[in-house]
A and B are shown apart, each in its own frame.
Chain A
């Protein structure tokens, strides 16, 4: 019998509780599996957690707000500490927002936490989506999860917009007025739909209670369910990992959930909450008392929506007004339909459908768990940057009045510049990004084939100067050569051997064209043969400098320069293989 230390009382209680739970729920197996679940380590994998944690912050602060907010459009006269509103007629929703801000203890802080967290939530979703997009994490088997994430983005917009309108102030009322206009611009059903939404003529008496239900029940409920699905998929698919030696599509290199990630994520929750609370405690957000209660007539300069809706505002501001068409007795408001429906429609459809478009162009049915380095997929990276550029130009166009006042420029000139840029900018960004990616890939090839420059110049007895290059170690090299070279699809000819037209050729041809657009311009990774040729070339030089230079195409060397190679232990561990 071995002597074991007697358990302390605390250990006894903990063990007893765990045992009690395990016998009744079988939680032990569950904890065992999850505690040992491996996740790869990288800071960019925490971006989605910012979204999750800010959403939790939103839920907690939102519950506080619902206790004091009155979702009613009944007219009251305000009596309270804010002098500029005393005796002013307003809806109960606005009055209760003022009470919440000025009379409820901690109410203003909670309101500001809620609103800042909402801005951070959307910003984190977009940043996380950018990470997933540029690293190709949406590839098989994760296409469905990309769509779930996309739906979360759209629902985030819906949650933000419905909540933003709840206080019934002038600024958000202007937003609702635009919504009303957009709805009415829909051909045929527009005015009926508007009456349906607002319960009569805008603004009506029904909207605030309806938005309240949407904001606190419907949208958050769906978001919670989809977050559950999103995380379930992460566990099911296992997490993606960045490329590196020892990592493949068949393994996950990282640390267990418990205790590493429980500690990291737990700590990060408090960091996220802390940053939001810090912002809420020091920076004013949505001061509704400045805007006053909603009244359809006034509008103030600098009336803009929160940042995630700003691209729609910009789209509307850019559209020339003369595009309104009157057919018979009917008005077709292209000046609203195009900027408010077609433009976001194009942007969002491209975003949602991109994984499927790329899979179609690539013809790749394999599973991918190792992420791409953005430079290795120039088309995708350039495409993502160009969508972001379009979005950013629209955001700037939505702020054109502030640009005009702060940079002393003409509002009209700015608007015209953006009208041109919205067409030219994305193409230019695409071209520049693709060139940068190809350039970086060339640099990688150069490094793999010739090694790092050391700055050591050696002079031979015959007077020749040579720079010594230090070859990459195995880990460095693997990072630069591990990816597949994706080539445009080859298709079967249009006619078979007997000259009969082949079925499905047209689709194949379209697919090939798409594939060529994606992968025509490419720099392929260095192959083992090329590497070997390059090395022998170096050795050869070291022995006989007068030797014939290797063909440039073979080594991919730019300029075909000569170099010496430093002998070095290629398998030295330098911590890169973490």
Chain B
């Protein structure tokens, strides 16, 4: 203690203290922040939060309010968590292009670092679901058959039996899931964007979420019977039966009928 006290007045003491404080903050964040080591590392520093806040003020505050507490045109983001930001901004749904029945995906407006900064800022406003780890969303670790059972009980009524998407009321729709990244799938289940209900960890456990991701990963492009015709079911099959089947057969009939006898 004597040595410490002796050096207390040292010129370098504030720097050491600052480093210690940063270490402590970082360490605490690493411990307390719920499992947030994504493939794209989210090491939220105060710096990130500050940059995130600037990005937020420039791009989001007009609808979500300067304190992210929501306005008439956008909901409050306090407590939505980093996962919601990573999903909404990472799929291009936010910032919203125009108002309509629901926010549509479009080219992503920020790079991953900026998205992480925004996520860090929003996460700092209140506790919420974090971005899942790579292991949590790895399709290879999931049980496909269990995923199929959970998917068709919880998801298929909107997203179609294999996730090809489906209609909702008033112009809203459940999108096709084949191109969505496993991380975004996980985040969507966790945060329930737009019309989608929240499937929290008590409802569908993280392992079951991974099973679902494994099932979706198998769809889209896996079609043992040939072209999948959009995997839309009997309507597209009927359409092709008329267009291709009857088209070719009537064409052949005209040809045979025109052949001189």
Residue count of chain A within 8 Å CB distance of chain B: 75
Q: Are A410 and B227 in contact (CB under 8 A)?
A: no
Residue of A44, A45, A120 most packed against chain B (CB within 10 A): A120
The segment out of B121-129, B151-159, B180-188 that lies at the interface is B151-159
Option from B157, B228, B241 in Cβ contact (under 8 Å) with A300: B157
Max count, chain A CB within 10 A of own CB: residue among B145, B153, B255: B145
Among listed B13-21, B26-34, B189-197, B242-250, interface-contacting one: B242-250
Is A402 in contact with chain B by the CB < 8 A criterion? Answer: yes
Of A83, A124, A279, A301, the contact of B160 (CB 8 Å cutoff): A301
Central interface residue in A50, A124, A286, A290, by most chain B CB within 10 Å? A290
Q: Whole-angstrom distance between the alpha carbons of A41 and B260 in the complex?
A: 10
Q: Is A87 an interface position by the 8 A CB rule?
A: yes
Contact B167 A307 (CB under 8 A): no
Residues of chain B within 8 A of A301, CB atoms compared: 156-161, 165-167, 174
Q: Does B1 contact A (CB under 8 A)?
A: no
Task: Mark contacts of A525-538 with chain B using CB atoms, 8 A cut-off: 1 yes-contact digit, 0 otherwise.
Answer: 00000000000000
Contacts of A123 in B (CB 8 A): 241-242, 245-246
**Total contacts A to B, CB within 8 angstroms?**
209
Tell me the A155-174 residues at the B interface (CB within 8 Å). Answer: 170-171
For the complex, is A55 an interface residue (Cβ under 8 Å from B)?
A: no
B244 and A279 form a contact (CB under 8 A)? yes
Residues A127 and B250 in contact, CB atoms below 8 Å apart: yes
Asked if B52 lies at the interface with its beta carbon under 8 angstroms from chain A, I say no
- B167 and A170 contacting across the interface, CB-CB below 8 Å: no
A260 and B257 alpha carbons, distance in the complex (Å): 11
CA distance A412 to B172 in the complex (A): 10
The answer on a CB contact under 8 Å between B235 and A399 is yes
Tell me whether chain B's interface is mostly helix, strand or loop, or mixed: helix
- Inter-chain contact B254/A298, CB cutoff 8 Å: no
Asked whether A84 lies within 8 Å of B215 as measured between CB atoms, the reply is yes
Determine how close the nearest CB of chain B comes to the CB of A78; give it in whole angstroms.
8
Q: How far is the CB of B228 from chain A (nearest CB, A)?
A: 5
**Nearest residue, chain A, Cβ from B232:** A302
Nearest A-chain residue to B260, judged by Cβ: A578
The CA of A372 and the CA of B231, in the complex, are separated in Å by 43
Does the CB pair A300–B156 fall under 8 Å?
Answer: yes
A382 at interface by CB-CB < 8 Å: no
Interface flag for B107 (CB, 8 Å): no
Residues of B contacting A260 with CB < 8 Å?
Answer: 261
Question: Inside 8 A of A127's CB, which chain B residues have their CB?
Answer: 246, 250
Q: Which of A249-295 contact B (CB under 8 A)?
A: 255, 260, 264, 267-268, 271-272, 275-276, 279-287, 289-292
| Structural contact, A402 and B162, CB atoms closer than 8 A | no
- The reply to whether B253 and A306 contact each other, CB–CB distance below 8 Å, is no
Chain B's nearest CB lies how many Å from the CB of A476? 19
Chain B residues 215-243 with CB under 8 Å of chain A are 215, 218-219, 223-229, 231-242
A323 proximal to B (CB < 8 A): no
In the assembled complex, the Cα of A284 lies from the Cα of B218 at a distance in Å of: 16
Q: How far is it, in angstroms, between the C-alpha of A286 and the C-alpha of B229 when the chains are bound? A: 11
Complex contacts, B229 vs chain A, CB 8 Å: 283-284
Decide: A43 near B254, CB < 8 A? Known: A402-B232, A405-B165, A411-B170. Answer: yes
Instruction: For B241, list chain A residues within 8 Å (CB).
Output: 116, 119-120, 123, 279, 307
Q: Is residue B40 within 8 Å, beta carbon to beta carbon, of the partner chain?
A: no
Q: Is there contact, CB below 8 Å, between A282 and B227?
A: yes
> Would B167 and A286 count as touching, CB distance under 8 A?
no
Contact (A83, B145) CB under 8 Å given A123-B246, A307-B242: yes
Task: Write out the residue numbers on chain A whose beta carbons fall within 8 Å of the beta carbon of B145.
Answer: 83-88
Interface mask (A97-114 → B, CB under 8 Å = 1, otherwise 0): 000011000001000100
Interface 1/0s, chain A 396-413, versus B by CB < 8 A? 001111101100111111
Contact B166 A302 (CB under 8 A): yes
Q: Nearest chain-A residue to B174 (Cβ)?
A: A301
**Quick check: B218 and A83 within 8 Å, CB to CB?**
yes
Sampled A-B contacts (24; CB under 8 Å)? A41-B257, A46-B256, A46-B257, A84-B147, A84-B215, A87-B145, A112-B226, A116-B241, A275-B249, A283-B237, A284-B226, A290-B231, A298-B153, A301-B167, A302-B161, A302-B166, A302-B232, A303-B233, A304-B233, A307-B235, A307-B242, A402-B232, A411-B167, A412-B169
A-B pairs with lowest CB-CB distance, top 3: A301-B166, A307-B238, A43-B257
Q: Which residues of B contact A (CB under 8 A)?
A: 101, 144-145, 147-149, 152-153, 156-162, 164-171, 173-174, 215, 218-219, 223-229, 231-242, 244-246, 248-250, 252-259, 261
Q: Which A positions have Cβ atoms within 8 angstroms of B?
A: 41-47, 49-50, 83-88, 101-102, 108, 112, 116, 119-120, 123-124, 127, 170-171, 255, 260, 264, 267-268, 271-272, 275-276, 279-287, 289-292, 297-308, 310, 398-402, 404-405, 408-413
